[in-house]
Amino acid sequence: MKDTPWDSFQLFLHVARLGGLTGASASSGLSPATIGRRMLDLEQELGRGLFSRSQTGYRLTPDGQALLDHLQEMEAAARKVESWRKAGSVGATVRIAAGTWIAWLLTENFSAVRKPGDSFAISLTIGETRANLSYRESDIGIRAFEPEESNLAARLLGEVAYAVYARRNASDLDERWVAVGEEDAISNYLRWPHRNAAGRIAATVNRPRSLAELVRAGAGRAVLPCFVGDLDPELQRIGAELPELRHRQWIVMNNEDRHRPEIRTVADRMTKLLKSYGDLFAGKRPSRS
């Protein structure tokens, strides 16, 4: 075990947490084939089977779960040391993990999150995978469900609604669709077109942000959060809200860190900002003059 490089354990963590090679590939930048080979090498080095492999993904064996627990304890200890170091220093960084569209809203209103006189910096990680705060990979995260982990604290922000959008006043509101490719469709709303309009998808992209751009260009219709589509004057909602996609939204922090002044400050500002958009998040359209 002493000869096993640490990056092999990091890859193991990606696979274990994301349930397979595709998610681990997206988060690590390595190909699924490379990660699969590295996991076989790791099992051989340790002399233990870590995964039960199937077409639906990688499931941890008892030995795999034991290794995950050990590595997470090591991560937690390292994060505690780093948090202790930062708590006593000037120029701390508050790490925020958010999905594509919340990150867009935060960047559009960045002055409400970090003010000129603040001594801390902001690090924003953008992605559709679940924010992992239990082991301090981030300080503040946005989740679509209340956390079950006992060491996390959560604030309910409200509900998020989704609908189908097309280019405003388009002359050909046909059944063409644009979507995020299936391998990158992690969130429920990204999977919706593949379940309901699979034969009518004219174009796919690998990031949700490009969906709105394609809809503006008239490439087709797409499912978007209502607070995104309703704020865009070039888009119009097609039909009613998709109620099966509606979900609650939470701001989440680690219990031990949430009282650090810089984290508390940013969390309070984010809460105020996101709650001010509560009606739009819930699908209540803004009035247009």
pLDDT recorded at residue 289 = 45
Question: Is the model's pLDDT at 238 over the cut of 70?
Answer: yes
- Kindly list the distances between the CA atom of residue 145 and the CA atoms of 81, 97, 142, 157, 250, in Å, as whole numbers in the listed order: 29, 15, 9, 11, 7
Which of residues 133 and 148 earns the better pLDDT score?
148
Encoding tokens for residue 230? 């309703």
pLDDT digits (tens, 9 = 90+) for 222-237: 999 999 999 999 999 9
Angle between helices 32-46 and 21-28 (to 10 degrees): 110
Question: Is the model's pLDDT at 181 over the cut of 90?
Answer: yes
- If you search the block for the tokens 């910096």, which residue do you land on? 121
Domains contained in the chain, CATH given:
6-73 (1.10.10.10), 90-160+247-281 (3.40.190.10), 162-245 (3.40.190.10)
CA separation for the pair 205, 215 (Å, rounded): 12
Are the C-beta atoms of 161 and 283 separated by less than 8 Å? yes
pLDDT digits (tens, 9 = 90+) for 142-157: 988 887 777 788 999 9
State mean pLDDT over 189-202.
94
Is the pTM of the predicted complex or chain greater than 0.75?
no
Question: Is the model's pLDDT at 64 over the cut of 70?
Answer: yes
